[in-house]
Structure 1
């Protein structure tokens, strides 16, 4: 059975990959938001901005969890 340390490392590694996905999704949504705004689809652009804000908030929480796991 793996130790708590091994489990923490594996969890932190998985969370790190999820964090990278958060950043990639944010970049993609940012590109779509720019296109929407440039093409007069303001409401959809505003919704996309709100989605990016949620990704940013959640990315911070994931980062904090990774740091806690790596310190234990």
Structure 2
């Protein structure tokens, strides 16, 4: 049960939340763009790009943390 609340599990859940929020924001962005808010869409896409880039680093960090917890 304690493993369920380990640092790596906590960070994994936060990462999953980040991905879910990213998807929700993209859905809203698509709606805004359909309604003519192209500039807002471009701004949001810039922020989403940063989130996507950071996601790779987070995933690699989680893998290393899990490996160190197992070893």
TM-score by length of 1: 0.80
Between the two structures, name the one with larger relative contact order (CA 8 Å, sep ≥ 6).
Answer: 1
Decide which of 40, 43, 53 is 1:57's aligned counterpart: 53
In the TM superposition, structure 1's runs of 4+ consecutive aligned residues that sit over 6 Å from their partners are none
Partner Cα separation in structure 2 for residue 18 and residue 68 of structure 1? 16
1-structure distance, mates of 2:11, 2:60:
10
Superimposed CA distance per residue, residues 19-62 of structure 1 (whole angstroms, 9 cap, x where no aligned partner): 10111111111111101110111110001111211111121111
TM-score (norm 2): 0.81
Gaps of 5+ in 1: 1-5
Aligned residues: 65
Aligned alpha-carbon RMSD (Å): 1.5
Which of 35, 39, 47 is equivalent to 1:39?
35
Unaligned ranges ≥5, structure 2 = none
